[in-house]
Amino acid sequence: MKDFVQLFTQLDQTTKTLKKVAALVDYFNKANDKDKLWTIAILSHRRPKRSVRTSLLRAWAASAANVPPWLFEESYHIVGDLAETMALMHPNLESKHDKSLSEWIEFIIDLKNLEDEHPTESEDVLATKKEKVRWAWNQLDETERFIFNKLMTGSWRVGVSQKLMTRALARHSGIDENTLSHRLMGNWRAETSSYHQLIIATDPADKISQPYPFYLAYGLEIKIEELGKPNEWLAERKWDGIRGQLIIRENQLFLWSRGEELVTDKFPEFEILTEVLPNGTVIDGEIIAYQDNQPLGFNVLQSRIGRKNVSKSILDKAPVIMIAYDLLELNGKDIRESSLQYRRQELVRLVDNAASEKLLISELVEFKEWKDLLKERADSRKYHAEGLMLKNKSGTYKVGRKKGDWWKWKIDPLTIDAVLLYAMRGHGRRANLYTDYTFAVWKGKELVPFAKAYSGLTDKEINEVDAFVKRNTIDRFGPVRSVKPDLVFEIAFEGIARSSRHKSGVALRFPRMFRWRKDKPAKEANTLEDLEKLLNLYG
């Protein structure tokens, strides 16, 4: 594991992209295929299945460190990372093993396999797991323990994007970066694949579910007139749903979300499209909630996300369709290098021929001059849209977030001035700082919490608020503190909807801190009434 520890340390110690890529290339050049595959898997968020419940790990870590469970939990609140807390608290030892990264991962997978021999989590199994985990902790030094724990516990942000990893892999393997990022997408797992199969072998049959990397737009940074001639561009609505890629190959349908998650099962209503779309079709579109020829708000769609089972009543309450933006594959041929004009023409033909109420074309917003779009953009909220998309008709379909051919032109957010009421410690890079806040508005003399937000402040402002929280704590509940209601922030959000799950009766879409209103005393913050006005206008 030494090479991987070194890689991790180097990635962790630098903020410079060049250094990160260099460290990765260096590692790929040294590592064996198994370690390479697992490293790629880890950096693209594919970890081995969880083999031990974290509640057990916590208990074992506390007893290994000779501390009571409450003290473990308090330390965890402050450190902000479970794997790190367990690693730091363990008596510090020298590394005394020569296992590689993949051998340690196999060790973890074997823990999971223990359950196969004994179907339930019997005491025997738990005792063996405990013994093995404690043995492992005793073989590892502090950084190795951290990595081992991260592999055991889940979400791990190493601070290197998939894009950088792909760039390094391209340099190591000599394979083109775009080709690689395509190969790395989809449903592969390191447990069942090999480096050769995934990276080197070309187009094996099991790649029929493989999506293309999404092309993502930046926000418009220049005056719209500077884009050039209006007739070289097209405009469409930026729908507020889940960006998705719909794949029909070999009579099967696959639906991918932008987060590279296969969500086919979550949206069974699209299955029917296999009958009306030809094989070798890949469509980029937006999944939105839609009923009676009308888009519904994002909150309706949200009620479906995160549910394990899609029940009949959910399907009735939150019906979805896909709005098709683009065509990436036609008759099994990758057409991303063709112009948008051509791709769209073929897309319209496909959608027309499909004649399905589940698949609609993203209609163009007509305009002759740029200024015609101003009003259209201002109307976005009426359509539950986030704004407009501007696309160059001659542009190709690119990989990842790129400037030039696509721009998103969002409407200005809604805003409200609110009082900071609770603060919670953050995680990861923000561990140990109070960075997650709950905001409230006035209802008479009472403050009613209505939104949580943690983004939008600069590091300097975060430090300032953190110091305020520590000095003005009224009460503590675990990692949360209630604070003197003194600070006012302008909270920006994309949408508002009624909600029975929230005490305030409203749910906000993507709330964040827009501005610290140091000029405003708390008593001048907005009221629940103001919030309800927004709800009536836009909800």
Partner 1 sequence: MALLQFTEKGIFCERANVYIDPWKPVDYAIITHAHADHSRWGNKFYLSHHLSKPIIQHRLGSDIHIESMEYLEKRTIHGVSFSFYPAGHIIGSAQVRVEYKGEVWVASGDYKLEDDGFASPFEPIKCNTFITECTFGLPVFQWQNQKEVFDDINKWWKKNQEEDKVTILTGYSLGKAQRLIQGIDPSIGKIFTHGAIEKTNEIIRNMGVKLNQTTYVNSEISKSAYRGALIIAPPSALGTSWQKKFQPFEVGNASGWMKLRGPRRRRSLDRGFVLSDHADWDGLNAAIKATACEKVIVTHGYTNIFSKWLNDQGIETQIEATAFEAEGIENTDKNNAE
Residues binding partner 1 (CB under 8 A): 12-15, 65, 67-68, 70-72, 74-75, 78-81, 84-85, 88-89, 92, 159, 426-433, 459, 463, 466-467, 470, 476
Report the residue number, 471 or 501, with the smaller CB distance to partner 1. 471
Residues 442, 447, 453, 459, Cα dihedral to 10°: 90
Report the residue number, 89 or 365, with the smaller CB distance to partner 1. 89
CA distance 380 to 373: 11
CB of 80 to partner 1, least distance (A): 6
Contacts of 271 (CB under 8 A, 6+ apart): 253
In one letter, which amino acid is 262? L
> 471, 431 in Cβ contact below 8 A?
no
Say which residue the tokens 């003399």 belong to: 445
Report the residue number, 15 or 251, with the smaller CB distance to partner 1. 15
Q: From residue 46, how far is each of 17, 41, 50, 260, 270 by CA, in Å?
A: 22, 5, 11, 11, 27
Report the residue number, 354 or 423, with the smaller CB distance to partner 1. 423
CB of 12 to partner 1, least distance (A): 7
CB of 326 to partner 1, least distance (A): 37
CB of 20 to partner 1, least distance (A): 12
Continuous H helices in 303-396: 312-317, 340-354, 372-378
Report the residue number, 141 or 532, with the smaller CB distance to partner 1. 141
CB of 21 to partner 1, least distance (A): 16
Contacts of 85 (CB under 8 A, 6+ apart): 61, 72, 75, 76, 79
DSSP string, 183-224: HH-SS--TTT--HIIIIIS---GGGTTPPPPPEEEEEP-S-G
Look at the alpha carbons of 499, 503, 506, 510 in this order and tell me if their dihedral is positive or negative. negative
CB of 8 to partner 1, least distance (A): 11
CB of 157 to partner 1, least distance (A): 10
Q: Is 330 helix (H, G, I), strand (E, B) or coil?
A: strand
Report the residue number, 151 or 301, with the smaller CB distance to partner 1. 151
CB of 143 to partner 1, least distance (A): 10
CB count within 10 Å of CB 196 equals 10
Q: Select from 253, 294, 307, 259 the least CA-distant residue to 277.
A: 253
**396-408: b or e for each residue (b if 16 or more CB lie within 10 Å)?**
bbbbeeeeebbbe
Report the residue number, 121 or 141, with the smaller CB distance to partner 1. 141
> 165, 43 in Cβ contact below 8 A?
yes
Burial class of residue 74 in the structure, from the number of CB atoms within 10 Å of its CB (0-12 exposed, 13-18 middle, 19+ buried): middle
Q: Select from 239, 275, 245, 262 the least CA-distant residue to 336.
A: 245
**Catalytic site includes residue 130:** no
Q: Is 474 helix (H, G, I), strand (E, B) or coil?
A: strand
Angle between helices 177-184 and 162-173 (to 10 degrees): 120
CB of 379 to partner 1, least distance (A): 42
**Beta strands 215-219; 400-410: pairing state:** parallel
Check 150, 207, 238, 266 and give the catalytic one.
238
Report the residue number, 385 or 462, with the smaller CB distance to partner 1. 462
CB count within 10 Å of CB 495 equals 20
Report the residue number, 110 or 459, with the smaller CB distance to partner 1. 459
CB of 473 to partner 1, least distance (A): 11
Q: From residue 133, how far is each of 1, 53, 61, 145, 371 by CA, in Å?
A: 17, 12, 9, 11, 65
CA distance 283 to 255: 10
Report the residue number, 368 or 476, with the smaller CB distance to partner 1. 476
Residue numbers annotated as active site? 238
